[in-house]
Structure 1
Amino acid sequence: MDRSFYHFVLSFRGGPKDDAKAVFAEAMFHDHSFPKQEYSFDQLSRYLEEKADGKMPITVFDELYDRYQEQIR
């Protein structure tokens, strides 16, 4: 699969406002510097750690990345 993490997470946009994955997806979409073509866990987590946006917490990223990995296997 050649779908980036960014494009995978976009599928969670528009979800309930109390769904952490939907909130993450919406914040990611509005972050114009998010690495849209990145696949690497290390690169993505480094970006999120440096950005430190409360709407994109690492715990939610970890859950989404696990789902992403399951889908690309």
Structure 2
Amino acid sequence: MNKTFYQFLMTQRNPGSTNPIAEFANNAFYDQSFPKQLDAFEPLSKYLEENASYLPNMEIFDDVWKMYEESM
């Protein structure tokens, strides 16, 4: 069974890290509105652009998305 993007992102969590990907994962964990069931790029990208003030730039999402695709 394939993981959703959120499930993959949670594998990148590291509460003590200053790595941008870990910070993204840590903040997404606390985002109660994060679309946890999505596994498609466009709706996730749209959600993050409109709602994720904790994500300093979309390049971080793009990098994690590539990692997510490679893990499938």
Question: How many Å apart are 1:66 and its aligned residue?
Answer: 0.5
**Displacement of 1:2:** 1.8
Compared CA separation, residues 25 and 52, structure 1 to 2 (3 A): closer
Letter in 1 for 2:19: D
Equivalent residues of 2:5, 2:68 under 8 A apart: yes
The percentage of counterpart residues that share the same residue type is 38
| Residue 19 (structure 2) pairs with residue 24 (structure 1) | no
TM-score by length of 2: 0.89
Q: Count residues with an aligned counterpart.
A: 71
| Structure 1: gaps (5+ residues) | none
Structure 2: which 5+ residue stretches go unaligned? none
Tell me the alpha carbon deviations over residues 13-33 of structure 1, each in whole angstroms, 9 at most, x when there is no partner. 116522001100001000000
Q: After TM superposition, where is structure 1 displaced by more than 6 Å over at least 4 residues in a row?
A: none
State the superposition RMSD in angstroms: 1.4
